[in-house]
Structures are given as structure tokens and as C-alpha cells.
Amino acid sequence: MAIECLVLGAGQEVGKSCVVVTFGGGKRVMFDCGMHMGHHDNRRYPDFDRLLADGAADYTAAISCVVITHFHLDHIGALPYFTEVCGYHGPVYMTYPTKALAPLMLEDYRKVMVDHRGEEEQYSYEDILRCMRKVIPLDLKQTIQVDKDLSIRAYYAGHVLGAAMIYAKVGDAAIVYTGDYNMTPDRHLGAAQIDRLKLDLLITESTYAKTVRDSKHAREREFLKAVHKCVSGGGKVLIPAFALGRAQELCILLDDYWERMNLKIPIYFSAGLTIQANMYYKMLIGWTSQKIKNSYTVHNPFDFKHVCHFERSFINNPGPCVLFATPGMISGGFSLEVFKKWAPSEKNLVTLPGYCVAGTIGHKLMSGKPTRIDIDKDTHIDVRCQIHQLSFSPHTDSKGIMDLTEFLSPSHVILVHGEKPQMAFLKERIESELGMQCCYPANNETVSIPTSQNLKINATEKFIVSFCMDETENDPQKQNLNFGGDMPQGCRTEGVAEGVLLMEKSKTPKILREDELLHSLGMETHFVHFEPLHPSSIEVKHTGESAVQQSSLEHLDCE
């Protein structure tokens, strides 16, 4: 038996996460259904037609279910297209917070692409609502029986509110697909948590496959110092961030700093979307960090004292300010509009708090300090502002990936959601340091993973007691002990005992002592007696068919 993994997205890249896993028996699970933020053509979505390559009539027949790990667009952005345009009508699973917040993210992106960029609409707002009605919500550590063979279970992943790692099992074959996760807690979310599981395969993100981060407190100090220096000099700070996740983390940090420093400079959110998001954060407080839960009874940390709504007319206002604007990679929308206005001034600062996908303006800014950026053939931006890059990314780093992999100890590892050179480095580490087979397939490649099959075997009481011969060989009472499934007191729990494995059709295999075999088969023991010419006699014991065939012999003469 083998597990087949078809990587439809996030293979040797970050973007449009989508991995389709086929278990023995034809069970097929699609993990995530994302879009690529750096593409605006047919490369933005996974190549779903590959699901029909084996002759399936439609997408609903092709897969058993879809499981979404969290609400970021590179993990969920293609879902309404897959369900409402491509016609998949099977079960879709995600956690309660993801189901609540995903429509906000999807509609915000749709409006940016269609209303502001004039792109052709891929799916409508009504499509988003119809898609969400198909979703079956998951709770943490809740085992869902998709059908009689396939079960899934969600574990806390950190990263963003509601993010989950997914455990899936069919028969004896079991895997974990991590989605995005964080192995260290931050100000508003806890660290990823998962049980120790017996796995054939771990499919893990590898965004920071080669990075080991320094102290979180040191990064926070550096960030606050850069922001304070800019606003003290009369400059404006642009923080491109998605409205859900890093925005809340950094707002907690800045709100606390503004309070301690008694600063009166305004901090703005650019979108009403964030007001909605904060409402959900307040409602879903149980998914946040323990520190947030503990303080919630006294003060809701998402009620920001120094943060207020930003109007479009404020862009040209004089004086310093801090602005959170979406989207986070400056791939379009309001963050791009503000960047065009503020980038030419040396007093201003753009600080990039997270990972930016190749092809976005954020990625170009992180790759060096360009003096000019070409948006298109007619639009150019002079970049004289300061550029500050500091990782507040909610992804785990290289150490976290290694720690999780070692903890779960799977037979095989597949790396996704990362850049190829860094993935190659991490693969070598996993294989050399942990002794596990590892690969990082490209998009549209299939990897076959062999699985071990467990065989349940009963054991007779006499065979089990044979472990205890040191204790029982001189004690007839213990040799005949009936212990009803519990080991006798003093019995060895480790060791070697020889026995016979009996496998009969339509019966559970069992292991027994050699002297129990014939009785178990309903046969009698037969003996052949040899009478040599010399006085001494030899007795030979035979069992099985050969003994039956020779049992009619009474005497043999030996020369």
C-alpha cells in the first residue's frame, strides 16, 4: 500500500497551497485550496483538471473532501472558484474561526481585484456565501468520520486565529498536513500543539527553512525604535499588513508602547474590515494565547485605545502618523495607493513585518533598496523612503520545523510552501540529523510514499506466559494461571519467546506455543518409534502431515 501526494500548489514556492493526498482504497483528501498572490493569470489557481486525469466524472467524484487549514488567501482563495465555478459539491471542513473570518478575507480580495484593479471577476459575493454554506466546522481535537474509512482531526497551529494542523487516517495509513504554523507563542496566539502520533508522512510548510530567528523581544524593540524614530522626525509609517493576524499582533504592541510613552501621534487602520475582524477576535477569545485569556476579564486587548479608523482623505494630511494598510504584500489595494504617495519622501518609512511572495512590490522592496519601482509600463514610483524589514511573520522558523518533525517522527517528510534553495538545505538536515526520508516536489508532481501495514495478532495465554518462564518454570500454579488479559505479577514485559504464527482463512491470526499447534488444528500427536539393532532405543516425535503418513510404520531395521 502507498500514499500518493499530488502537489497542485506551494511546490517549491509560497502561494496557492493545495496538496491532494490519495490513500489506499481510493480515499482522496484535498488539503487547502489557495491562490497565488503574485499572479493575475491562470497561474493564480491550482490546476484542478489534474484531479480528473484518472477518469473521474467530476470533481465531487474525484475527491472525498476538502480541508482548509486557515483563512489566508494562499490557502483558501481558490475555494469559491472550486466549489461554485468548477462544481465541487462534496464536504468542506475548516475550524469555526476560519469559517467566520474567511468570507471577510475573500470578499475584501474580490473587491480589490474587481472594483479597484478592474480585473475580470472570478467569483461573486454570492458565490462566496454559497461556498461557505457548504462548510462543516471543526473543533480542536474533534475526530470527524468523513466516511467509514477516512477520519480527520484538527490541532492548534498558532499562526493566525483558527489555524489548524490536520491529522488524516485511513486504515493503518496516517499523515499530518501542517498548513502554516508557529512553534513559539506571541502576544495574541499560543504555540502550535499536537499529540505524539504514529505517522507514515508529515507534510510541513517550510517558509523559513533556513532561518533561525533571534529573540522576539529584540525584534519588538527594533521595530518600536524604527517607528518612534520616524514619527519623531515628522515622518509617516506605512505598515502593509493583512487585516487579520499580524495587524492585531502589532497593534497590541504599538498600543501598549504608545500608552507607556504617552505618545499622541495617531495610529490608523485603513479598512473597516479590521473593525469587523476585531469583533470576531473578541468573540473567539478562546482561540487566543493564555495571556490574552487571563487578561480578558479585566480588559479586552483588542479594544485599542490609540488606534482609529483611517479615511482616504487623510493620505495627504501633514504631520506624522502610523498606518496599517491592506494587503500585506503591497500587491494592490489601499497599501499600494498609500505607497505611491508616501514612498518619494525620505522622512517616511515602510516597514514590512512578514513574508512577501515573489512578484509583489513587497518582495521587491525586501530584495534590496530600489530607487524606482515600475508598477506597469505607464506607472513608476520613485522610492526615497526608508525600508525596514523585520520578521514578525507567524510562520515557524527552521528550528521549529526540525522540532516538530523530530517530535512526530514520521517515516517520510514532504516539504511544501517554501523556496527551492532553502527547501534543499532543510531536506539535507532532516535526512542527516533525523534519519528520515524527505523530498520537496514541484507543482503538479506526484510523490508515492510506502506505508507500513499493521497486522493484529492474538496470542494464547501459554505463549504470553512463556515470557515469564524465569518466574514460573518451577511454579505449576503460575504455569496454569488464568489472568484474563492482565500480565501475571513479576512477568517480564520485554524479551524473546519462540512461537508459531497460525493464519487461518476468515480468522484473526494468532501466535501460540509449538506444543499447542496440533490441538489448535484439531489433530492428534503421532509418534514414530525406531528400534535399532543395538539395545538403546530412540524416540522421534513428529507433528503435522508427515507424521500422519508415517504413523503406520511400526519397526525399522537399521544397518
pLDDT tens-place string over residues 211-230: 888 777 888 899 999 999 99
Q: Which residue has the cell 489555524?
A: 163
- 3-class secondary structure, 492: coil
Strand partners, 379: 376
Cis peptide, bond prior to residue 327, ω within 30 of zero: yes
Average the pLDDT over each of 123-137, 284-298, 377-391, 486-500 and give the range with the smallest value.
486-500
- CA dist 269 and 251 (Å) reads 9
**What's the N-to-C CA distance of the chain in angstroms?**
57
- Give the CA-trace dihedral at 44, 46, 52, 57, to 10 degrees: -70
Residue with the larger pLDDT of the pair 470 and 59: 59
Residue 282 has pLDDT above 70, yes or no: yes
Rg of the chain on CA atoms, in Å: 32
Q: Residue range 530-540: average pLDDT?
A: 58
Residue 223: phi, psi to the nearest 5? -65, -50
Reduced DSSP (H G I as helix, E B as strand, rest coil) percent helix, strand, coil of the chain, to 5? 35, 20, 45
Can you spell out the DSSP letters for 123-139? S-HHHHHHHHHTEEEE-
Which is it for strands 445-450 and 2-9: parallel, antiparallel or unpaired? antiparallel
Q: Hey, is 28 helix, strand or coil?
A: strand
Contacts of 429 (CB under 8 A, 6+ apart): 398, 402
Answer yes or no: are the C-beta atoms of 7 and 445 closer than 8 Å.
yes
**DSSP bridge pairs for 204:** 415
Report pLDDT for 555: 41
Q: Directed axis angle between helix 125-133 and helix 96-111, to 10°?
A: 170
Please give the C-alpha separations between residue 453 and each of 142, 197, 551, in angstroms, as whole numbers. 25, 16, 42
Query: How many residues make up the chain in this entry?
Result: 559
Q: Read off the pLDDT of residues 13-46 as tens digits, 9 standing for 90 and up.
A: 998 999 999 998 789 999 999 999 778 788 899 9
Partners of 413 in the β-ladder = 202, 438
Q: What is the pLDDT of residues 449-507, one digit of tens each?
A: 998 766 678 888 877 777 665 444 445 444 444 444 455 555 555 666 788 888 776 67
Give residue 107's Cα distance to chain centre. 25
SS3 327: coil
What is the mean pLDDT of the segment spanning 130-141? 96
pLDDT band at 549 (very low <50, low <70, confident <90, very high): very low
Average of pLDDT values for 143-159? 96
Question: Rounded distance, CA 459 to CA 513, Å?
Answer: 9
Which residues touch 246 (CB under 8 Å, ≥6 apart)?
328, 353, 354, 392, 393, 394
Residue 338 CA to residue 98 CA, distance in Å, equals 29
C-alpha cell recorded at residue 509: 491470526
- Say which range, 65-74, 133-142, 276-285, has the weakest mean pLDDT: 276-285
Indicate whether 194 pLDDT > 90: yes
Specify the range with the lowest mean pLDDT, choosing from 363-367, 411-415, 451-455: 451-455
pTM value is: 0.75
Asked if 104 contacts 277 with a C-beta cutoff of 8 angstroms, the reply is yes
Nearest partner of 61 among 35, 87, 38, 24, judged by Cα: 87
Which amino acid would we find at residue 415?
L
Catalytic residue positions, numbered? 205
Which cell numbers in the block locate residue 499? Answer: 512461537
> What pLDDT, in 10s, does the model give residues 153-177?
999 999 999 999 999 999 999 999 9
Read off the pLDDT of each residue in 329-333 and give the average, rounded to a whole number.
79
Could you give the CA distance from residue 180 to residue 72 in angstroms, rounded to a whole number?
A: 10
Q: If we measure between CA atoms, which residue out of 225, 221, 252, 251 comes closest to residue 239?
A: 251
Give the span between the Cα atoms of 272 and 294, in whole angstroms: 28
Helix (H) or strand (E) holding 219: helix 216-232
Which helix (H) or strand (E) covers residue 227, if one does?
Answer: helix 216-232
Q: Please, what's the b/e burial string for 21-31 (b: 16 or more CB within 10 A of its CB; e: otherwise)?
A: bbbbeebbbbb
| CA count, 13 A, side-chain hemisphere, 527 | 7
Alpha carbon 6 to its chain's center: 16
Mean pLDDT, residues 256-283 taken together: 82
Q: Residue 417 region, left (φ>0) first, then alpha (ψ -120 to 50), else beta? A: left
CA-to-CA dists, residue 86 to 51, 73, 242, 309, angstroms: 12, 18, 28, 38
List, in order of start, the domains of the chain with CATH numbers.
2-212+394-446 (3.60.15.10), 216-389 (3.40.50.10890), 458-475+493-554 (no CATH)
